[in-house]
Amino acid sequence: MNMKQSIYLIFIFFFLSSCNTSSSDKSTSKNDVVDAKGYYFEGDKKYKIYNGGIFRINEVEDFKNLFPQSTIDGVSNRIGAQIYQGLLKLNQRTLKVENCLAKSVVEENNGTLLTFTLNDNVFFHDDPCFENGIGRKFSAYDVKTCFDMLCEFRSDNLLFELFDGRVKGAREYFESTQNNAKLSEGVSGVKVLDSLTLSIELMKPCSFFKKVLTHNGCWIFPIEAYEKYGANMRALCVGTGPFVIDKIMEGTQVRLVKNEKYWEKDDNDNKLPYIDVVKITFTKDKKTELANFRKGNLDMIWQLPVDEMKSVLVSLEEAKNGGNPEFQYQQKPGLSVQYYSFLNSSEVFNDLNVRKAFNYAIDRKTLVKYTLQGDGMPAVHGLIPNFKEYNNDEIIGYNFDVNKAKKHLASAGFPNGKGFPSISLQINEGGSTNVILAEAIQNMLKENLGINVEIEPLPFPTLIERFANGKSDFWRTSWIADYPDPENFLKLFYGKTVPEKPNEKSFPNASRFQNDEFDRYFEKALSSVDVEEQLKSYQKCDNILIEQAAFMPIYYSEYIRLLNLKVRAFPQNGMEYRDLSRVFISK
Protein backbone atom coordinates (compact mmCIF):
# COMPACT_ATOMS: atom_id res chain seq x y z
CA MET A 1 0.00 0.00 0.00
CA ASN A 2 5.26 3.71 0.29
CA MET A 3 7.20 1.79 -1.98
CA LYS A 4 3.75 1.18 -3.43
CA GLN A 5 4.74 3.30 -6.37
CA SER A 6 3.98 3.21 -10.06
CA ILE A 7 7.03 2.52 -12.15
CA TYR A 8 5.38 3.10 -15.50
CA LEU A 9 4.26 6.71 -15.63
CA ILE A 10 2.79 8.88 -18.37
CA PHE A 11 3.59 12.55 -17.94
CA ILE A 12 0.54 14.26 -19.38
CA PHE A 13 -1.76 16.97 -18.17
CA PHE A 14 -5.36 16.52 -19.06
CA PHE A 15 -8.91 17.16 -18.03
CA LEU A 16 -11.41 14.33 -17.82
CA SER A 17 -15.13 14.63 -17.40
CA SER A 18 -17.55 11.73 -17.28
CA CYS A 19 -20.56 11.71 -19.56
CA ASN A 20 -23.22 11.42 -16.90
CA THR A 21 -22.26 13.94 -14.22
CA SER A 22 -21.66 17.62 -13.83
CA SER A 23 -18.04 18.68 -13.42
CA SER A 24 -18.68 21.95 -11.61
CA ASP A 25 -18.97 22.76 -7.95
CA LYS A 26 -21.69 25.36 -8.54
CA SER A 27 -24.64 23.20 -7.49
CA THR A 28 -25.62 24.18 -3.98
CA SER A 29 -27.46 20.89 -3.59
CA LYS A 30 -24.10 19.13 -3.50
CA ASN A 31 -23.15 21.17 -0.44
CA ASP A 32 -26.42 20.64 1.40
CA VAL A 33 -27.09 17.72 3.70
CA VAL A 34 -30.52 16.23 4.35
CA ASP A 35 -31.84 13.80 6.90
CA ALA A 36 -31.38 10.09 6.26
CA LYS A 37 -32.90 7.22 8.19
CA GLY A 38 -31.36 6.09 11.46
CA TYR A 39 -28.36 6.84 13.63
CA TYR A 40 -24.66 6.04 13.68
CA PHE A 41 -23.38 4.71 17.02
CA GLU A 42 -19.84 5.23 18.28
CA GLY A 43 -19.24 4.04 21.82
CA ASP A 44 -21.98 5.48 24.00
CA LYS A 45 -22.76 8.28 21.53
CA LYS A 46 -25.18 8.31 18.64
CA TYR A 47 -25.26 10.65 15.67
CA LYS A 48 -28.06 11.37 13.22
CA ILE A 49 -27.19 10.17 9.72
CA TYR A 50 -27.34 12.64 6.83
CA ASN A 51 -27.12 12.37 3.06
CA GLY A 52 -25.27 14.81 0.83
CA GLY A 53 -22.40 17.23 1.15
CA ILE A 54 -18.81 17.43 -0.06
CA PHE A 55 -15.86 15.76 1.64
CA ARG A 56 -12.61 17.63 0.94
CA ILE A 57 -9.19 16.09 1.47
CA ASN A 58 -5.64 16.79 0.27
CA GLU A 59 -2.67 14.67 -0.76
CA VAL A 60 0.86 16.12 -0.79
CA GLU A 61 1.93 13.81 -3.62
CA ASP A 62 0.27 13.27 -6.99
CA PHE A 63 -1.39 9.99 -7.80
CA LYS A 64 0.71 7.82 -10.12
CA ASN A 65 -1.62 5.24 -11.63
CA LEU A 66 -5.23 4.32 -10.82
CA PHE A 67 -5.30 1.13 -12.92
CA PRO A 68 -5.59 -1.60 -10.26
CA GLN A 69 -2.77 -3.79 -11.56
CA SER A 70 -0.43 -0.77 -11.80
CA THR A 71 -1.31 0.83 -8.45
CA ILE A 72 1.64 0.55 -6.11
CA ASP A 73 1.62 3.94 -4.38
CA GLY A 74 -0.48 4.98 -1.41
CA VAL A 75 -2.14 8.03 -2.98
CA SER A 76 -3.40 6.05 -5.97
CA ASN A 77 -4.60 3.30 -3.65
CA ARG A 78 -6.58 5.68 -1.46
CA ILE A 79 -8.31 7.22 -4.48
CA GLY A 80 -8.86 3.94 -6.30
CA ALA A 81 -10.42 2.34 -3.21
CA GLN A 82 -13.44 4.62 -3.66
CA ILE A 83 -13.89 3.58 -7.32
CA TYR A 84 -12.97 -0.10 -7.47
CA GLN A 85 -13.82 -3.14 -5.34
CA GLY A 86 -12.64 -6.71 -4.91
CA LEU A 87 -14.21 -9.97 -3.80
CA LEU A 88 -13.20 -9.12 -0.23
CA LYS A 89 -12.31 -5.94 1.62
CA LEU A 90 -10.91 -4.82 4.96
CA ASN A 91 -13.04 -3.43 7.76
CA GLN A 92 -12.04 0.21 8.09
CA ARG A 93 -12.00 0.08 11.89
CA THR A 94 -10.56 -3.38 12.64
CA LEU A 95 -8.75 -4.28 9.37
CA LYS A 96 -10.42 -7.69 9.49
CA VAL A 97 -11.36 -9.27 6.17
CA GLU A 98 -15.01 -8.88 5.14
CA ASN A 99 -17.11 -9.84 2.14
CA CYS A 100 -17.52 -7.27 -0.62
CA LEU A 101 -18.37 -8.28 -4.19
CA ALA A 102 -18.48 -11.81 -2.82
CA LYS A 103 -21.57 -12.56 -0.74
CA SER A 104 -19.94 -15.60 0.85
CA VAL A 105 -16.81 -17.75 0.68
CA VAL A 106 -16.45 -21.44 1.58
CA GLU A 107 -13.00 -22.91 2.32
CA GLU A 108 -12.31 -26.60 1.73
CA ASN A 109 -9.38 -29.00 1.41
CA ASN A 110 -7.38 -27.52 4.25
CA GLY A 111 -7.96 -24.02 2.93
CA THR A 112 -6.62 -24.69 -0.57
CA LEU A 113 -9.99 -24.44 -2.31
CA LEU A 114 -12.06 -21.28 -1.93
CA THR A 115 -15.50 -21.02 -3.50
CA PHE A 116 -17.05 -17.57 -3.79
CA THR A 117 -20.73 -16.79 -4.27
CA LEU A 118 -21.13 -13.29 -5.68
CA ASN A 119 -23.69 -10.59 -5.03
CA ASP A 120 -26.22 -10.54 -7.87
CA ASN A 121 -27.11 -6.82 -7.74
CA VAL A 122 -23.77 -5.29 -8.73
CA PHE A 123 -23.30 -3.20 -11.88
CA PHE A 124 -20.29 -1.48 -13.35
CA HIS A 125 -20.30 2.30 -13.60
CA ASP A 126 -21.98 3.82 -16.63
CA ASP A 127 -19.28 4.52 -19.19
CA PRO A 128 -18.85 4.92 -22.97
CA CYS A 129 -17.00 1.60 -23.06
CA PHE A 130 -20.39 -0.14 -22.74
CA GLU A 131 -23.22 -0.33 -25.24
CA ASN A 132 -25.28 2.88 -25.00
CA GLY A 133 -22.97 3.97 -22.19
CA ILE A 134 -24.89 1.90 -19.60
CA GLY A 135 -22.88 -0.15 -17.11
CA ARG A 136 -23.58 -3.86 -17.35
CA LYS A 137 -24.02 -6.44 -14.60
CA PHE A 138 -20.93 -7.75 -12.84
CA SER A 139 -20.34 -11.53 -12.95
CA ALA A 140 -17.86 -14.29 -12.13
CA TYR A 141 -16.51 -14.01 -15.67
CA ASP A 142 -15.22 -10.53 -14.81
CA VAL A 143 -13.31 -11.93 -11.84
CA LYS A 144 -11.83 -14.69 -13.98
CA THR A 145 -10.75 -12.16 -16.62
CA CYS A 146 -9.12 -9.82 -14.10
CA PHE A 147 -7.34 -12.62 -12.24
CA ASP A 148 -6.05 -14.06 -15.51
CA MET A 149 -4.77 -10.59 -16.43
CA LEU A 150 -3.08 -10.35 -13.03
CA CYS A 151 -1.01 -13.35 -14.11
CA GLU A 152 -0.03 -12.04 -17.53
CA PHE A 153 3.35 -10.75 -18.64
CA ARG A 154 2.46 -7.12 -19.42
CA SER A 155 4.19 -3.81 -18.78
CA ASP A 156 1.14 -2.48 -16.93
CA ASN A 157 0.86 -5.50 -14.63
CA LEU A 158 3.16 -4.88 -11.67
CA LEU A 159 1.49 -7.22 -9.21
CA PHE A 160 1.81 -10.77 -10.49
CA GLU A 161 3.64 -11.62 -7.27
CA LEU A 162 0.27 -11.60 -5.47
CA PHE A 163 -0.70 -14.90 -7.12
CA ASP A 164 2.71 -16.28 -8.06
CA GLY A 165 3.55 -19.38 -6.02
CA ARG A 166 0.10 -19.35 -4.45
CA VAL A 167 -2.62 -19.90 -7.04
CA LYS A 168 -2.49 -23.10 -9.04
CA GLY A 169 -1.49 -22.47 -12.65
CA ALA A 170 -0.51 -18.81 -12.10
CA ARG A 171 3.16 -19.29 -12.98
CA GLU A 172 2.38 -21.53 -15.95
CA TYR A 173 -0.03 -18.99 -17.40
CA PHE A 174 2.43 -16.13 -16.81
CA GLU A 175 5.17 -17.97 -18.67
CA SER A 176 2.80 -18.82 -21.52
CA THR A 177 2.05 -15.12 -22.02
CA GLN A 178 5.73 -14.33 -21.72
CA ASN A 179 6.47 -16.79 -24.53
CA ASN A 180 3.60 -15.59 -26.73
CA ALA A 181 1.84 -18.94 -26.34
CA LYS A 182 -1.04 -17.92 -24.08
CA LEU A 183 -2.90 -20.86 -22.50
CA SER A 184 -6.53 -20.73 -23.60
CA GLU A 185 -7.93 -21.65 -20.18
CA GLY A 186 -6.05 -18.86 -18.42
CA VAL A 187 -5.03 -19.57 -14.83
CA SER A 188 -6.08 -23.18 -14.24
CA GLY A 189 -6.72 -22.60 -10.53
CA VAL A 190 -9.33 -19.91 -11.17
CA LYS A 191 -12.58 -21.42 -12.44
CA VAL A 192 -16.01 -20.00 -13.22
CA LEU A 193 -18.66 -22.42 -11.94
CA ASP A 194 -21.56 -20.23 -13.06
CA SER A 195 -22.18 -16.51 -13.54
CA LEU A 196 -22.30 -15.91 -9.77
CA THR A 197 -19.92 -18.60 -8.52
CA LEU A 198 -16.15 -18.82 -8.80
CA SER A 199 -13.49 -21.03 -7.23
CA ILE A 200 -9.79 -20.44 -6.58
CA GLU A 201 -7.49 -23.39 -5.97
CA LEU A 202 -4.22 -22.76 -4.14
CA MET A 203 -1.01 -24.74 -4.56
CA LYS A 204 -0.71 -25.14 -0.79
CA PRO A 205 -2.35 -23.69 2.32
CA CYS A 206 -1.87 -19.94 2.68
CA SER A 207 -3.14 -18.49 5.94
CA PHE A 208 -3.27 -14.92 4.63
CA PHE A 209 -4.62 -15.48 1.11
CA LYS A 210 -7.96 -13.86 1.87
CA LYS A 211 -6.00 -10.77 2.93
CA VAL A 212 -4.22 -10.88 -0.43
CA LEU A 213 -7.61 -10.71 -2.14
CA THR A 214 -8.23 -7.33 -0.48
CA HIS A 215 -5.20 -5.91 -2.30
CA ASN A 216 -5.83 -3.35 -5.05
CA GLY A 217 -4.27 -5.74 -7.54
CA CYS A 218 -7.38 -7.90 -7.06
CA TRP A 219 -9.88 -5.10 -7.73
CA ILE A 220 -12.29 -5.90 -10.56
CA PHE A 221 -12.74 -3.88 -13.74
CA PRO A 222 -14.61 -4.65 -16.99
CA ILE A 223 -12.59 -5.91 -19.96
CA GLU A 224 -14.52 -3.45 -22.16
CA ALA A 225 -12.80 -0.57 -20.36
CA TYR A 226 -9.35 -2.09 -20.80
CA GLU A 227 -9.95 -2.79 -24.47
CA LYS A 228 -11.17 0.77 -25.08
CA TYR A 229 -8.76 2.75 -22.92
CA GLY A 230 -5.66 0.56 -22.47
CA ALA A 231 -2.86 2.53 -20.81
CA ASN A 232 -5.25 5.45 -20.31
CA MET A 233 -6.89 3.45 -17.51
CA ARG A 234 -4.22 5.16 -15.49
CA ALA A 235 -6.90 7.84 -15.04
CA LEU A 236 -9.97 6.55 -16.90
CA CYS A 237 -11.57 4.35 -14.28
CA VAL A 238 -14.55 2.00 -14.51
CA GLY A 239 -15.36 -0.04 -11.42
CA THR A 240 -18.22 -1.06 -9.16
CA GLY A 241 -17.44 1.21 -6.21
CA PRO A 242 -19.44 3.91 -4.43
CA PHE A 243 -17.92 6.81 -6.38
CA VAL A 244 -17.13 7.58 -10.00
CA ILE A 245 -14.61 10.01 -11.44
CA ASP A 246 -16.18 13.28 -12.45
CA LYS A 247 -13.09 15.34 -13.16
CA ILE A 248 -9.31 15.04 -13.09
CA MET A 249 -6.99 18.05 -13.29
CA GLU A 250 -3.49 16.55 -13.11
CA GLY A 251 -1.50 17.80 -10.13
CA THR A 252 -4.40 19.96 -8.96
CA GLN A 253 -7.62 18.06 -8.26
CA VAL A 254 -9.51 14.78 -8.54
CA ARG A 255 -13.27 15.06 -8.11
CA LEU A 256 -15.39 11.98 -7.37
CA VAL A 257 -19.17 11.96 -7.33
CA LYS A 258 -21.69 9.55 -5.89
CA ASN A 259 -22.42 6.43 -7.95
CA GLU A 260 -26.19 6.76 -8.17
CA LYS A 261 -26.49 3.07 -9.12
CA TYR A 262 -24.34 1.76 -6.26
CA TRP A 263 -25.43 -1.63 -5.01
CA GLU A 264 -25.01 -1.41 -1.21
CA LYS A 265 -27.41 -0.11 1.45
CA ASP A 266 -26.83 0.45 5.15
CA ASP A 267 -28.68 -1.29 8.00
CA ASN A 268 -31.34 1.44 7.91
CA ASP A 269 -32.06 0.82 4.21
CA ASN A 270 -30.34 4.04 3.17
CA LYS A 271 -28.68 3.92 -0.23
CA LEU A 272 -24.91 4.32 -0.04
CA PRO A 273 -22.77 6.35 -0.22
CA TYR A 274 -24.08 9.19 1.91
CA ILE A 275 -21.70 11.83 0.52
CA ASP A 276 -22.39 13.45 -2.86
CA VAL A 277 -18.87 14.58 -3.73
CA VAL A 278 -15.28 13.74 -2.72
CA LYS A 279 -12.82 16.45 -3.70
CA ILE A 280 -9.11 15.58 -3.54
CA THR A 281 -6.57 18.37 -4.00
CA PHE A 282 -2.79 18.11 -4.36
CA THR A 283 -1.22 20.93 -2.39
CA LYS A 284 2.38 19.85 -1.88
CA ASP A 285 3.26 21.96 1.16
CA LYS A 286 2.12 20.56 4.52
CA LYS A 287 1.96 23.98 6.17
CA THR A 288 -0.35 25.26 3.46
CA GLU A 289 -2.42 22.12 3.82
CA LEU A 290 -2.79 22.70 7.56
CA ALA A 291 -3.67 26.35 6.98
CA ASN A 292 -6.39 25.30 4.54
CA PHE A 293 -7.77 22.88 7.12
CA ARG A 294 -7.88 25.59 9.77
CA LYS A 295 -9.67 27.93 7.35
CA GLY A 296 -12.33 25.28 6.78
CA ASN A 297 -11.26 24.54 3.20
CA LEU A 298 -10.44 20.89 4.02
CA ASP A 299 -12.34 18.35 6.10
CA MET A 300 -9.34 16.22 7.02
CA ILE A 301 -5.58 16.38 7.31
CA TRP A 302 -3.40 13.31 7.68
CA GLN A 303 0.10 13.67 9.13
CA LEU A 304 1.01 17.05 10.50
CA PRO A 305 4.01 19.19 9.53
CA VAL A 306 6.70 18.56 12.15
CA ASP A 307 7.12 22.22 13.06
CA GLU A 308 3.36 22.63 13.66
CA MET A 309 2.97 19.69 16.03
CA LYS A 310 3.21 21.76 19.21
CA SER A 311 0.62 24.34 18.22
CA VAL A 312 -1.88 21.65 17.23
CA LEU A 313 -1.37 19.74 20.46
CA VAL A 314 -1.74 22.95 22.48
CA SER A 315 -5.13 23.54 20.84
CA LEU A 316 -6.09 19.97 21.68
CA GLU A 317 -5.04 20.37 25.33
CA GLU A 318 -7.03 23.60 25.65
CA ALA A 319 -10.11 21.80 24.33
CA LYS A 320 -9.64 19.03 26.90
CA ASN A 321 -9.57 21.66 29.64
CA GLY A 322 -12.94 23.09 28.67
CA GLY A 323 -12.25 25.14 25.56
CA ASN A 324 -14.19 24.73 22.34
CA PRO A 325 -12.59 22.01 20.22
CA GLU A 326 -11.48 23.16 16.77
CA PHE A 327 -11.31 19.67 15.32
CA GLN A 328 -11.54 15.95 15.98
CA TYR A 329 -8.17 14.39 16.83
CA GLN A 330 -7.30 10.79 15.89
CA GLN A 331 -4.04 8.96 16.58
CA LYS A 332 -3.03 5.39 15.81
CA PRO A 333 0.27 3.46 15.50
CA GLY A 334 0.82 2.96 11.81
CA LEU A 335 1.42 -0.31 10.03
CA SER A 336 4.27 1.50 8.36
CA VAL A 337 8.04 1.77 8.56
CA GLN A 338 10.16 4.65 7.28
CA TYR A 339 13.65 3.64 6.20
CA TYR A 340 16.59 4.29 3.92
CA SER A 341 17.44 1.63 1.37
CA PHE A 342 20.86 0.42 0.30
CA LEU A 343 21.45 -1.07 -3.13
CA ASN A 344 22.98 -4.23 -1.69
CA SER A 345 24.59 -5.14 -5.00
CA SER A 346 26.37 -1.78 -5.46
CA GLU A 347 30.11 -1.23 -5.01
CA VAL A 348 29.41 1.05 -2.06
CA PHE A 349 26.95 -1.06 -0.10
CA ASN A 350 27.82 -4.66 -0.98
CA ASP A 351 30.09 -4.62 2.08
CA LEU A 352 28.30 -5.69 5.27
CA ASN A 353 30.62 -3.56 7.41
CA VAL A 354 29.62 -0.40 5.54
CA ARG A 355 25.93 -1.15 6.01
CA LYS A 356 26.43 -1.82 9.72
CA ALA A 357 28.48 1.35 10.13
CA PHE A 358 25.64 3.43 8.71
CA ASN A 359 23.11 1.74 10.99
CA TYR A 360 25.13 2.27 14.17
CA ALA A 361 25.96 5.89 13.28
CA ILE A 362 22.45 7.33 13.54
CA ASP A 363 20.60 8.08 16.76
CA ARG A 364 17.01 7.06 16.06
CA LYS A 365 15.71 8.12 19.46
CA THR A 366 17.07 11.65 19.01
CA LEU A 367 15.69 11.80 15.49
CA VAL A 368 12.19 10.95 16.70
CA LYS A 369 12.24 13.05 19.86
CA TYR A 370 13.71 16.24 18.44
CA THR A 371 13.76 16.18 14.64
CA LEU A 372 10.27 14.68 14.35
CA GLN A 373 8.93 16.30 17.53
CA GLY A 374 7.83 12.89 18.84
CA ASP A 375 5.85 11.99 15.72
CA GLY A 376 6.79 8.32 15.43
CA MET A 377 8.60 5.54 17.26
CA PRO A 378 12.31 4.70 16.83
CA ALA A 379 12.68 1.67 14.56
CA VAL A 380 14.88 -0.39 16.87
CA HIS A 381 12.98 -3.66 16.49
CA GLY A 382 13.53 -4.63 12.89
CA LEU A 383 11.50 -4.07 9.75
CA ILE A 384 7.98 -4.88 10.90
CA PRO A 385 6.06 -2.59 13.28
CA ASN A 386 4.43 -4.11 16.33
CA PHE A 387 0.78 -5.02 15.72
CA LYS A 388 -1.79 -7.59 16.76
CA GLU A 389 -0.54 -10.34 14.45
CA TYR A 390 3.17 -9.71 15.10
CA ASN A 391 5.27 -9.08 18.20
CA ASN A 392 8.58 -7.41 17.34
CA ASP A 393 9.87 -7.09 20.93
CA GLU A 394 12.29 -9.99 20.44
CA ILE A 395 13.89 -8.37 17.38
CA ILE A 396 16.95 -6.45 18.58
CA GLY A 397 17.75 -3.73 16.10
CA TYR A 398 20.48 -1.08 15.99
CA ASN A 399 21.09 1.25 18.88
CA PHE A 400 23.23 4.35 18.52
CA ASP A 401 26.91 3.35 19.01
CA VAL A 402 29.57 5.58 17.45
CA ASN A 403 32.45 3.28 18.45
CA LYS A 404 30.87 0.30 16.70
CA ALA A 405 30.07 2.45 13.69
CA LYS A 406 33.69 3.59 13.35
CA LYS A 407 34.99 0.08 13.92
CA HIS A 408 32.86 -1.37 11.12
CA LEU A 409 33.79 1.43 8.72
CA ALA A 410 37.49 0.86 9.48
CA SER A 411 37.03 -2.88 8.87
CA ALA A 412 35.62 -1.98 5.46
CA GLY A 413 38.85 -0.09 4.70
CA PHE A 414 37.71 3.46 5.46
CA PRO A 415 39.10 4.54 8.86
CA ASN A 416 37.35 7.74 9.97
CA GLY A 417 35.77 7.88 6.54
CA LYS A 418 39.09 8.29 4.75
CA GLY A 419 38.78 7.26 1.12
CA PHE A 420 35.02 6.68 1.33
CA PRO A 421 33.36 7.97 -1.83
CA SER A 422 30.89 10.85 -1.71
CA ILE A 423 27.37 9.49 -2.08
CA SER A 424 23.92 10.87 -2.77
CA LEU A 425 20.90 10.27 -0.60
CA GLN A 426 17.95 10.48 -2.94
CA ILE A 427 14.63 11.53 -1.43
CA ASN A 428 11.27 12.40 -2.94
CA GLU A 429 10.23 16.02 -3.25
CA GLY A 430 7.11 17.38 -1.62
CA GLY A 431 7.63 16.38 1.98
CA SER A 432 9.20 18.84 4.42
CA THR A 433 9.62 16.04 6.97
CA ASN A 434 11.71 14.08 4.47
CA VAL A 435 14.10 17.02 4.04
CA ILE A 436 14.39 17.80 7.75
CA LEU A 437 15.08 14.17 8.57
CA ALA A 438 17.57 13.75 5.72
CA GLU A 439 19.54 16.79 6.88
CA ALA A 440 19.72 15.44 10.44
CA ILE A 441 20.95 12.04 9.21
CA GLN A 442 23.40 13.74 6.84
CA ASN A 443 24.91 15.57 9.84
CA MET A 444 25.11 12.37 11.93
CA LEU A 445 26.92 10.44 9.19
CA LYS A 446 29.37 13.33 8.73
CA GLU A 447 30.00 13.82 12.44
CA ASN A 448 30.20 10.15 13.42
CA LEU A 449 31.77 8.57 10.33
CA GLY A 450 33.40 11.42 8.43
CA ILE A 451 31.26 10.61 5.39
CA ASN A 452 29.96 13.24 2.99
CA VAL A 453 26.39 12.66 1.88
CA GLU A 454 24.68 14.89 -0.67
CA ILE A 455 20.90 15.14 -0.41
CA GLU A 456 19.26 14.91 -3.83
CA PRO A 457 15.52 15.65 -3.89
CA LEU A 458 13.85 14.13 -6.93
CA PRO A 459 10.34 14.06 -8.34
CA PHE A 460 8.63 10.97 -7.01
CA PRO A 461 8.33 9.26 -10.43
CA THR A 462 12.03 9.86 -11.13
CA LEU A 463 13.03 8.42 -7.76
CA ILE A 464 10.92 5.34 -8.40
CA GLU A 465 12.40 4.81 -11.84
CA ARG A 466 15.93 5.09 -10.46
CA PHE A 467 15.72 2.71 -7.54
CA ALA A 468 13.59 0.17 -9.40
CA ASN A 469 16.18 0.02 -12.18
CA GLY A 470 19.18 -0.22 -9.86
CA LYS A 471 20.35 3.34 -10.54
CA SER A 472 20.27 4.51 -6.91
CA ASP A 473 22.72 3.40 -4.22
CA PHE A 474 21.05 5.07 -1.24
CA TRP A 475 17.49 6.39 -1.07
CA ARG A 476 14.61 7.24 1.22
CA THR A 477 11.48 5.09 1.12
CA SER A 478 8.74 3.71 3.31
CA TRP A 479 6.27 0.88 3.35
CA ILE A 480 2.64 1.00 4.41
CA ALA A 481 1.10 -2.44 4.65
CA ASP A 482 -1.17 -3.48 1.79
CA TYR A 483 -2.84 -5.85 4.22
CA PRO A 484 -2.14 -6.59 7.91
CA ASP A 485 0.30 -9.50 7.70
CA PRO A 486 4.10 -9.72 8.29
CA GLU A 487 4.52 -11.31 4.85
CA ASN A 488 3.58 -8.00 3.26
CA PHE A 489 6.70 -6.39 4.75
CA LEU A 490 9.17 -9.24 4.40
CA LYS A 491 8.44 -9.80 0.71
CA LEU A 492 10.38 -6.57 0.10
CA PHE A 493 13.57 -8.56 0.66
CA TYR A 494 12.70 -11.93 -0.89
CA GLY A 495 15.72 -12.73 -3.04
CA LYS A 496 13.97 -14.81 -5.66
CA THR A 497 12.15 -11.76 -7.02
CA VAL A 498 15.46 -10.10 -7.98
CA PRO A 499 16.13 -10.33 -11.74
CA GLU A 500 19.37 -11.82 -12.99
CA LYS A 501 20.33 -8.76 -15.03
CA PRO A 502 21.28 -5.71 -12.94
CA ASN A 503 19.62 -3.27 -15.34
CA GLU A 504 16.21 -4.99 -15.18
CA LYS A 505 13.48 -3.61 -12.94
CA SER A 506 13.38 -5.19 -9.50
CA PHE A 507 10.10 -4.90 -7.61
CA PRO A 508 9.26 -5.22 -4.79
CA ASN A 509 12.86 -6.06 -3.82
CA ALA A 510 14.42 -2.82 -5.09
CA SER A 511 17.35 -3.14 -2.66
CA ARG A 512 18.26 -6.41 -4.46
CA PHE A 513 19.06 -8.06 -1.15
CA GLN A 514 19.66 -11.80 -1.59
CA ASN A 515 20.19 -14.25 1.23
CA ASP A 516 19.47 -17.98 0.98
CA GLU A 517 18.71 -18.37 4.69
CA PHE A 518 16.21 -15.51 4.60
CA ASP A 519 14.49 -17.04 1.57
CA ARG A 520 14.23 -20.46 3.24
CA TYR A 521 12.57 -19.08 6.38
CA PHE A 522 10.31 -16.81 4.32
CA GLU A 523 9.11 -19.76 2.25
CA LYS A 524 8.69 -21.84 5.39
CA ALA A 525 6.46 -19.16 6.90
CA LEU A 526 4.37 -18.94 3.74
CA SER A 527 3.63 -22.67 3.73
CA SER A 528 3.04 -23.00 7.48
CA VAL A 529 -0.48 -23.62 8.77
CA ASP A 530 0.64 -23.38 12.40
CA VAL A 531 0.37 -19.75 13.53
CA GLU A 532 3.09 -20.01 16.19
CA GLU A 533 5.52 -21.71 13.83
CA GLN A 534 4.79 -19.13 11.16
CA LEU A 535 5.45 -16.27 13.59
CA LYS A 536 8.83 -17.76 14.53
CA SER A 537 9.81 -18.01 10.87
CA TYR A 538 8.79 -14.41 10.27
CA GLN A 539 10.81 -13.28 13.29
CA LYS A 540 13.80 -15.24 12.03
CA CYS A 541 13.54 -13.40 8.72
CA ASP A 542 13.38 -10.06 10.52
CA ASN A 543 16.47 -10.97 12.56
CA ILE A 544 18.39 -11.92 9.42
CA LEU A 545 17.63 -8.52 7.88
CA ILE A 546 19.09 -6.86 10.98
CA GLU A 547 22.13 -9.15 11.11
CA GLN A 548 22.82 -8.43 7.46
CA ALA A 549 22.01 -4.71 7.81
CA ALA A 550 19.97 -5.06 4.64
CA PHE A 551 18.47 -1.59 5.11
CA MET A 552 18.52 1.33 7.54
CA PRO A 553 15.30 1.48 9.58
CA ILE A 554 14.55 4.91 10.99
CA TYR A 555 11.12 5.06 12.58
CA TYR A 556 7.71 3.42 12.74
CA SER A 557 4.96 5.83 11.83
CA GLU A 558 2.47 7.23 14.30
CA TYR A 559 -0.56 8.34 12.33
CA ILE A 560 -2.32 11.55 13.32
CA ARG A 561 -5.50 12.79 11.66
CA LEU A 562 -7.47 15.95 12.22
CA LEU A 563 -11.11 15.91 11.13
CA ASN A 564 -13.70 18.64 10.71
CA LEU A 565 -16.17 18.49 13.60
CA LYS A 566 -19.00 17.62 11.19
CA VAL A 567 -17.34 14.49 9.76
CA ARG A 568 -18.77 11.24 11.14
CA ALA A 569 -18.28 7.48 10.74
CA PHE A 570 -14.66 7.75 9.64
CA PRO A 571 -12.67 5.51 12.02
CA GLN A 572 -8.89 5.44 11.77
CA ASN A 573 -6.69 2.38 11.21
CA GLY A 574 -2.98 1.64 11.04
CA MET A 575 -2.92 1.34 7.23
CA GLU A 576 -4.74 4.59 6.52
CA TYR A 577 -7.11 2.41 4.53
CA ARG A 578 -10.10 4.56 3.59
CA ASP A 579 -13.63 3.53 2.73
CA LEU A 580 -15.76 6.64 2.25
CA SER A 581 -18.96 4.76 1.42
CA ARG A 582 -20.31 5.17 4.96
CA VAL A 583 -18.77 8.50 5.95
CA PHE A 584 -21.29 11.33 6.34
CA ILE A 585 -21.32 15.07 7.00
CA SER A 586 -23.56 16.19 9.87
CA LYS A 587 -25.34 19.52 10.22
- Statement: residue 226 has pLDDT above 60: yes
User: Which residues face 520 on adjacent strands?
Assistant: none
- Statement: residue 9 has pLDDT above 60: no
Work out the average pLDDT over 125-150: 98
- Statement: residue 224 has pLDDT above 90: yes
Cβ neighbours of residue 507 under 8 Å, at least 6 residues apart? 7, 72, 158, 468, 497
Work out the average pLDDT over 340-345: 98
Domain 333-559 fold: Dipeptide-binding Protein; domain 3 (3.10.105)
Whether omega for the bond prior to residue 508 falls within 30 degrees of 0, making it cis, is yes
pLDDT band at residue 511 under the 50/70/90 scheme: very high
- Statement: residue 29 has pLDDT above 90: no
pLDDT band at residue 431 under the 50/70/90 scheme: low
The whole-chain average pLDDT of the chain stands at: 92
The pTM for the full model equals 0.89
- Statement: residue 100 has pLDDT above 80: yes
User: What residue spans define the domains of the chain?
Assistant: 15-283+564-585, 333-559
Least confident of 25-29, 88-92, 130-134, 514-518: 25-29
Report the percent of the chain where pLDDT is more than 90.
83
pLDDT band at residue 429 under the 50/70/90 scheme: confident
Collapse the DSSP code of 197 into the 3-class scheme (helix H, G, I; strand E, B; otherwise coil) and give the result: strand
Best CA proximity match to 18, nearest among 186, 162, 168, 229: 229
Collapse the DSSP code of 430 into the 3-class scheme (helix H, G, I; strand E, B; otherwise coil) and give the result: coil
Is 15-283+564-585 a domain of CATH 3.40.718.10?
Answer: no
Collapse the DSSP code of 225 into the 3-class scheme (helix H, G, I; strand E, B; otherwise coil) and give the result: helix
The whole-number pLDDT of residue 314 equals: 76
Query: Is 333-559 in the same CATH topology as 15-283+564-585?
Result: no
The whole-number pLDDT of residue 430 equals: 67
Q: What is the pLDDT of residues 436-465, one digit of tens each?
A: 999 999 999 999 999 999 999 998 878 988
Q: What is the pLDDT of residues 315-329, one digit of tens each?
A: 767 766 666 688 999
